[in-house]
Amino acid sequence: NAGVTQTPKFRILKIGQSMTLQCTQDMNHNYMYWYRQDPGMGLKLIYYSVGAGITDKGEVPNGYNVSRSTTEDFPLRLELAAPSQTSVYFCASSSGTGYDGYTFGSGTRLTVV
């Protein structure tokens, strides 16, 4: 029972490079989310999806893009990486009940130099 799987676990990017953070869940959850965690700042919502083909912006979407072609996958694309995007990124999924909470992946630590 894998839950939410994120790849890669670590990545170093140069300024201006692009990359895709992968996220897959096997719980048949309709709701998926991308958060970033900066030191001492808690988690901030980047993008979310309520089902295949439907995505929407969260609190900090600038510099990112997402797609949701299947229920299982929710990749996050970084275009033209900037040092401000150095962070730990977490993908999560939810059944949408509110009180059950999210299931999070183990995170991707990204450094932009």
Partner 1 sequence: DQQVKQNSPSLSVQEGRISILNCDYTNSMFDYFLWYKKYPAEGPTFLISISSIKDKNEDGRFTVFLNKSAKHLSLHIVPSQPGDSAVYFCAASGSGGAQKLVFGQGTRLTINP
What residue ranges bind partner 1 (CB under 8 A)? 4, 31, 33, 35, 40-45, 48, 50, 56, 58, 90, 92, 94, 96-107
d(CA 20, CA 27): 22
Q: Among residues 96, 104, 101, 87, which one has the least CA distance to residue 5? A: 104
Closest CB to partner 1 among 14 and 42?
Answer: 42
> What is the nearest approach in angstroms of partner 1 to the Cβ of residue 35?
8
Contact between 73 and 23 under an 8 Å Cβ cutoff? The reply is: yes
Closest CB to partner 1 among 41 and 113?
Answer: 41
Closest CB to partner 1 among 19 and 50?
Answer: 50
> What is the nearest approach in angstroms of partner 1 to the Cβ of residue 72?
17
